[in-house]
Copies of this chain bind each other. A is one copy, B any other.
Amino acid sequence: MPDPHASAFERHDHAGCRHDVLAAVEREARERGLRLTPVRRRTLEILLEEHRAMGAYDVLERLAKDGFGAQPPVAYRALDFLVDHGFAHRIRRLNAFAACMHPDHSHAPVFLICTGCNAVAEAPGEQVREALDATARSLGFAVERSNIEAVGLCPTCAPE
């Protein structure tokens, strides 16, 4: 059983991680009455296979190869579905999408983007969001959603 807390920066059993996440999403979708249709499921699989942030057009290309529609809305709609329900995340800095690694519980992570290897890891966002909320509150601003993304070097790519 793979470590459910392994970050993208650590070596991990990737096949297992893929399988587990997909299973969790299927369970969640069933419980929440969401329709994980073939395109949507395949879109998630593609994100999981790559295990990195992908642009909508990269995803679209793969979907088209698999016999789904070849026009942008096909990919965008599936990706929007996944993002809306917490099964994927959108990384604005990269104009890209990545499968959520913890789809079983609602969360709002921060993203760490390595400029060395292009890996994108989800890190726990609670502390950061607490600080952000406090800062916003002091200006009378009520935060609804936020995106927090950092660019830098992961442990593997960092100089010794």
> Which residue of the partner chain B has the closest CB to A123?
B135
Residues 110-133 of chain A, each 1 if its beta carbon lies under 8 Å from chain B, else 0: 101011000001011101101110
Contact of A115 with B144 in the complex, beta carbons under 8 Å? yes
CA distance A125 to B141 in the complex (A): 15
- Copies in the assembly, this chain: 2
B-contacting residues of A (Cβ < 8 Å)?
7, 9, 92-93, 110, 112, 114-115, 121, 123-125, 127-128, 130-132, 134-136, 138-155, 158
Contact of B139 with A135 in the complex, beta carbons under 8 Å? no
Identify 5 residue pairs between A and B in the complex whose beta-carbon atoms are under 8 Å apart, listed by A's number: A123-B138, A127-B131, A141-B153, A145-B150, A145-B151
Given contacts A128-B131, A131-B127, A150-B145, A139 and B7 within 8 Å (CB-CB) = yes
CA distance A48 to B106 in the complex (A): 39
> Which residue of the partner chain B has the closest CB to A135?
B123
Contact of B146 with A149 in the complex, beta carbons under 8 Å? yes
Shortest 7 CB-CB distances between A and B: which pairs?
A140-B155, A146-B150, A131-B131, A144-B152, A143-B152, A128-B131, A92-B92
Given contacts A9-B141, A140-B9, A150 and B132 within 8 Å (CB-CB) = yes
Contact of B9 with A147 in the complex, beta carbons under 8 Å? no
Given contacts A130-B131, A131-B130, A148-B148, A158 and B142 within 8 Å (CB-CB) = yes
